[in-house]
Structure 1
Amino acid sequence: MSPLVHPPLGGSTLRRTVSLTAVSSLATAALALAAPAGQAAPSASPSSNGVTVAHSCAAPTQKNVMACKALHVTAGTPKSAHAESDLTAAAAPSGYGPASLQAAYNLPSSSGGSGQTVAIVDAYDDPNAEADLAVYRSQYGLSACTTANGCFKKVNQTGGTSYPRGDSGWAEEISLDLDMVSAACPNCKILLVEASSATMTNLGTAVNTAVSLGAKYVSNSYGGSESSSDSTYDSSYFNHPGVAITVSSGDNGYGTEYPAASKYVTAVGGTSLKTSSTARGWTDTVWSGAGSGCSSYDAKPTWQTDSGCAKRTVADVSAVADPNTGVAVYDSYRQATGWMVFGGTSASAPLIAATYALAGAPSSGSYPASFPYAHTSALYDVTSGSNGSCSGSYLCTGTTGYDGPTGLGVPNGTAAFTG
């Protein structure tokens, strides 16, 4: 069992440590850390639930600037620490790995995804992305995914190879995204598109590039405040019929973010995932940090029929996101020192994008966000837990059928993601 790494706070790494039960209640004492333009310096607060976690990316301080949704464990032992080694009877790093995630969500372990390309859109450059991905895949016995064999490709937001400047916080996000696609869909190809900065305009340009390069599945593990510009962003960047676009719902509990609120995307909420004595062998409950709620700007898509929001409701589906039941990730850029445990809806969004890829190419002209609504029986319903206070409403509380934090539920195979 590899030891849990406690990365240092300092240098140019973006950090803010948060409480798992009150992720939105950040301490006000600022740490002396550098942050990209438009982002605040990180701040710290006590641990809870046995682990301490930190945001990889600092909160935006300007409108239309996004933050990644990766949370990494900095101290304590997650409940998922020994899950992979218990399941595979082999030494494994702390946190859920491919065998655990495939078992929990009934995903095909050796079939599906061949020939499919999942695109990852993030800001800034991770110079170690391909090398770190190789370590992850080798650890779990997955086939190599490299530039040389055509499985991996990295481009900038316009499709070129002049990459943006490196950023250690977003590099953690990139490692998390690449590893989660690999875990759920080992046979998928991976396209990493790096935006020049974390503005919605640059990230949106990267989304368009991913689609233009042929990706039918595009994962976006970032978000920021909604704004009156969202309808313009919708039409400019996210209206891609026949392409499954997934977006993290957020890590601050009850409340909506963009682009998860876009009517054209699959908004992915978060759960706590644990083994259980049920026939499934696993159980998901609402993760307290998962974002949910009513959009202030985006119209309700025709396939969404809940009555609590006049406009778009977040989320649609979900997967594991609780850092206390977190996933194993390998990252070595700058202060990162190897194997770490991550959570956040940054974990669930690429897992769902890879599940769409396992299900096969969406039909021409379709909006894949609608697919789960036509196949609700092919999801595991999440019926307990809460991400905040909204008078007991389904918008912040797990319940039978649709609810805000987990949407229609978590994958039970791939049938809910076909159409």
Structure 2
Amino acid sequence: MPSLRTNSADSRADRTRGMVRRGVPALLSAATLIVGGLIAAAPAGAAPAPAAPHTAPTASGSAAVPTHRLCSEPTKPGYMACNAVARTDVKQSLALGPHITPSGFGPSDLQSAYKLPTAGGSGQTVAIVDAYDDPNAEKDLATYRSQYGLPACTTANGCFKKVDQNGGTSYPTADAGWAGEISLDVDMVSAACPSCHILLVEAKSASMSDLGTAVNRAVAMGAKYVSNSYGGGESSSDASYDTSYFKHPGVAITVSSGDSGYGVEYPAASQYVTAVGGTSLKKDSSSRGWSESVWGTSAGGEGAGSGCSQYDAKPAWQKDTGCAKRTVADVASVADPATGLAVYDSYQATGWNVYGGTSASSPFIAGVYALAGTPGATDTPASYPYSHTSSLNDVTSGANGSCSPSYLCKAGTGYDGPTGLGTPNGTAAFTK
């Protein structure tokens, strides 16, 4: 069976001190599933991941897929965990044989599902902010892009750049879990915007202060699109974090909404960011050729995050009436590992794998913003989709838990918590 990653020593120590937010359980099953056109049989009796195991149906009612979280849960205020989930039932490989394609959706699938142009974004820089170091980030990105015929994105040609949170090359300690997150992030930016440049900013720890410093560094280095695929519990410090790290007019900052079903994480709750939820994505015979539902189930506990913030003020452009404060999410894209994405990660990992989580949807939407063009200098780009709702695919089925009012956890016509206003239908919803 595939090997499971281990996180850094300080992550393991954190895990012993208790939890501040809900975890995403590992899912165990002996189901046989079709992913990206390939059949993958889940091994019976698969070993549990670090999170507590359980089995739950997917949104479509099919058997669950076995998964594990790449990052351990944050266990103290002000610390974050990445929102990436790896399949453990898909055969992994460092190299593919002739005429074999990776399991999971690739760039052409996502471009088709979301009607994205294959050209565009040239010269735009999308920044990825994560904790710890991925020593193999550039070479793994090269493998992904070569597999799918995307243009090379390297340090040598000026397309790829990796820096620490101070803008230098004193990279933090390497961490296998966050390295998988980084691979997912750079691959999803590549899938959405193959011509974009990628700036990877690595924070020295998973604290909000270090990650926030990395966000500020990305903006200072000229990025107009910044993806953050992590989250932790809300706190009374969030208003201070908002103004210190996320209030950047003219910059599209995307944040994953979480992988624990109904419930709110920070910084997705920030009024200055685009909170990105998640869907299950399937090919079908409709005129679009694809269908989507909420990633999650009405039982909750796993799926895209959503709900009412306890602390963050409601932005003026958000008009739903069931939350006096900020509502999560704004938009969404594919995040369900059962309908997951092909990703290449070789740092203490075995290469091609299928990943999911709203860690996939946040960098993908950042890439869509980059395709749409440079935001207005004084704008908060999170407001843009609210002016272009007809340019989104409205997701109307599925739930990520039980709640009242029901739209905060259940999809329906128009706005809902798990998928926001919907998923990209071209780029028009992501421009002024």
**Fold equivalence (TM over 0.5):** yes
Q: Aligned match of 1:108 in 112, 117, 120? A: 117
- Match for residue 168 of structure 1? 176
The 2-side partners of 1:144 and 1:125 are apart by 22
1:378 equivalenced with 2:391 (yes/no): yes
Contact 2:7 2:72 in 1 (8 A): no
Name the SS of the counterpart of 2:277 in structure 1: strand
Matches within 5 A, 1:245-256: 245-256=253-264
Match of 1:222 in 2: 230
Count of aligned positions:
388
Cα distance in 2 for partners of 1:17, 1:341 equals 17
**Deviation per CA, 1:243-288, whole angstroms, max 9, x where unpaired?**
0000000000000000000000000000000011110000110001
Distance in 2 of aligned mates of 1:324 and 1:50:
8
* Gap runs ≥5 in structure 2: 13-23, 30-46, 58-62, 92-98, 297-302
Amino acid at match of 2:112: A
Q: 1:6 aligns with which of 2, 7, 11?
A: 2
CA distance in structure 2 between the partners assigned to 1:322 and 1:391 by the alignment: 24
Q: Deviations over 1:379-400 (max 9, x none)?
A: 0000000000014610000000
Residue 413 of structure 1 corresponds to 426
Deviation at 1:32, TM superposition (A): 11
Listed as ranges, the matches of 1:227-242 within 5 Å are 227-242=235-250
On the 8 A contact 2:71/2:83 being kept in 1, the answer is yes
Relative to the length of structure 1, the TM-score reads 0.89
Matches of 1:306 and 1:10 in 2, distance apart?
Answer: 41
> In the alignment, which of 379, 383, 388 is matched to residue 366 of structure 1?
379
Of 304, 307, 311, the residue aligned with 1:293 is 307
Q: In structure 1, what is the Cα distance between the partners aligned to 2:90 and 2:364?
A: 25
In 1: Cα distance, 2:25 partner to 2:345 partner: 18
Q: Secondary structure at the match of 1:290?
A: strand
- AA of the residue aligned to 1:131: K
| Aligned position for 2:204 | 196
Mark the CA change 1:407 to 1:163 in structure 2 (over 3 Å): closer, same or farther. Answer: same
> What is aligned with 1:268?
276
- Does residue 155 of the first structure (1) align with residue 151 of the second (2)? no
Query: 1:333 aligns to what?
Result: 347
User: Is residue 74 of structure 2 the alignment partner of residue 66 of structure 1?
Assistant: no
Deviation digits for residues 356-414 of structure 1, max 9, x if unmatched? 00000001100000000000000000000000001461000000000000000000000
Deviation at 1:75, TM superposition (A): 1.6
Task: State how far apart, in whole Å, the 2-side matches of 1:226 and 1:10 are.
Answer: 26
Q: TM-score, length-normalised on structure 2?
A: 0.86
1:389 equivalenced with 2:389 (yes/no): no
Alpha-carbon distance between aligned partners in 1 of 2:5 and 2:184, rounded to the nearest angstrom: 19
RMSD (Å) for aligned C-alpha atoms: 2.3
SS of residue in 2 equivalent to 1:246: strand
Deviation string 1:37-62 (CA, Å, 9 cap, x unpaired) is xxxx6443347524201000000110
Residue identity over aligned pairs, in percent, reads 68
Q: What is the alpha-carbon distance in structure 2 between the residues aligned to residue 20 and residue 382 of structure 1?
A: 28
SS at match of 2:261: coil
**What corresponds to 2:35 in structure 1?**
none
Partner residue in 2 for 1:350: 363
Equivalence for 2:104: 95
Matched residue, 1:213: 221
Secondary structure at 1:146's aligned position in 2?
A: coil
Is the CA contact (8 Å cut-off) linking 1:47 and 1:53 kept in structure 2?
A: no
Q: What is the deviation of 1:6?
A: 2.0
Asked if residue 121 in structure 1 is aligned to residue 129 in structure 2, the reply is yes
* Structure 1, gaps ≥5 residues long: 22-30, 34-40, 78-89
Q: Does 1:145 find its partner at 2:159? A: no
CA separation in 1, counterparts of 2:109 and 2:178? Answer: 25
Alignment partner for residue 188 of structure 2, among 173, 180, 191? 180
Could you list the per-position Cα deviations for residues 192-229 of structure 1 after superposition, in whole angstroms to 9, with x for gaps in the alignment? Answer: 00000000000000000000000000000000000000
Whether the aligned pair in 1 keeps the contact of 2:281 and 2:291 (CA below 8 Å) is yes
Task: Give 1:132's aligned residue.
Answer: 140
CA shift in 2, pair 1:279/1:11, >3 Å = closer
Q: Is the 8 A contact 1:18 1:47 kept in 2?
A: no
Distance in 1, matches of 2:101 and 2:359, equals: 22
Deviation at 1:147, TM superposition (A): 0.2
Tell me the distance in 2 between the aligned counterparts of 1:345 and 1:45. 20
- What residue in structure 1 maps to residue 60 of structure 2? none
What is the CA–CA distance in structure 1 between the aligned matches of 2:238 and 2:177, rounded to whole Å?
25
Q: Distance in 2 between matches of 1:115 and 1:308?
A: 41
The Cα shift of 1:9 comes to 5.5
Q: Which of 322, 325, 328 is the equivalent residue of 1:308?
A: 322
Q: Are residues 20 and 217 of structure 1, via their aligned partners in 2, closer, same or farther at CA, if it must alter by over 3 Å?
A: farther
